[in-house]
Chains A and B, each alone.
Chain A
Amino acid sequence: MTESEAISLFKCLADKSRLQILKSLAVEDMYVERLAERLGLTAPTISFHLKKLWDAGAVTSYKNQYYMMYSLNKEIFGISILEILQQESDEAQEQAQRDAEYRQKVIDAFFEYGKLKAIPTQLKKERIVLEVIAEAFEFDRMYSEREVNIIIADFHDDFCTIRRDMVSERLLDRNGMEYWRMK
């Protein structure tokens, strides 16, 4: 289900009459007049609501002798709200682009000729800075504390703070003697 389909479905469901129609169709398939009688609404009102529900994919229809029968689209209602929320947003690409632009802005502001000018006070910015420094470490290689300090010192003099923060941000891990870059 796309984001716009989900929005259209949720909007459609935010109406008591339409919910009553769906509840009736959950019991059995029905035609317009039967629904009208059951819910105390006029047939044109029911037709209007059914069209909205049909457009949103909530109901399906089929012909049975003289009647157009409506039924609940169980497939749609089998999707959990969590699944809808976990689906990639239609705007995911734009969001990723904005994130990348922000990241680059932070890097440009805090690094000059490969050196860190200052440790950012904002956690979000510090995380980006630490990620850049982490790139100087190879994966699957063990480093002594001295080696770690030397690598970090290439970026900033306060290597102790940065080393500790990299461990707390789970960019580096340690076992007491050695450090390694976390994947």
Chain B
Amino acid sequence: MNEQQRKFELYLDEQITECRQRSKLLAADERMDEGNFEKVRANVYEIFKTILSAAEKVCGKDDGARKRFFLQKTDEIPTNWTTSYEEAKKQGDVEKVYIESIKLDTAREIKEMCMQIWEENT
């Protein structure tokens, strides 16, 4: 694991921890729905953390290939979420629209952070 990957994994871990803490605090403050939205966010970070370790297994030590693999997944995975978002919007399902938009926003943020970290170190 190189420096970029370590930094990126640390970022994902921090986000997961923060989301879980916020979720607990919100639930304790009787804001269950918002607490659940934080869990949704944490799940997205976890998905991409798994992708990051998969990138290492698939691409080995080739840093460029790992970055390409990861970025490709950040485009592929949210495709279903976009479809669900559009469908929910059509059906007027505000809760689903909101959940899908949280997933899409989080995936976008992860992709941006990935690019930023890799650029910082090249």
Contacts and interface: CB of A to CB of B under 8 A. Distances in A.
A90 interface: no
B94 interface: yes
A45 interface: yes
Contacts of A15: 30-33
Interface stretch (A46-54, A77-85, A148-156): A46-54
Label chain B's interface by main secondary structure: helix
Interface in B80-95: 94-95
Interface in A37-75: 41, 44-45, 47-49, 51-52
Contacts of A104: none
Nearest to B94: A51
A141 interface: no
19 contacts: A14-B30, A14-B32, A15-B30, A15-B31, A15-B32, A15-B33, A16-B30, A16-B31, A17-B31, A41-B34, A44-B98, A44-B101, A45-B34, A47-B94, A48-B33, A48-B94, A48-B98, A51-B94, A52-B95
Interface of B: 29-34, 37, 94-95, 98, 101
Interface of A: 14-17, 41, 44-45, 47-49, 51-52
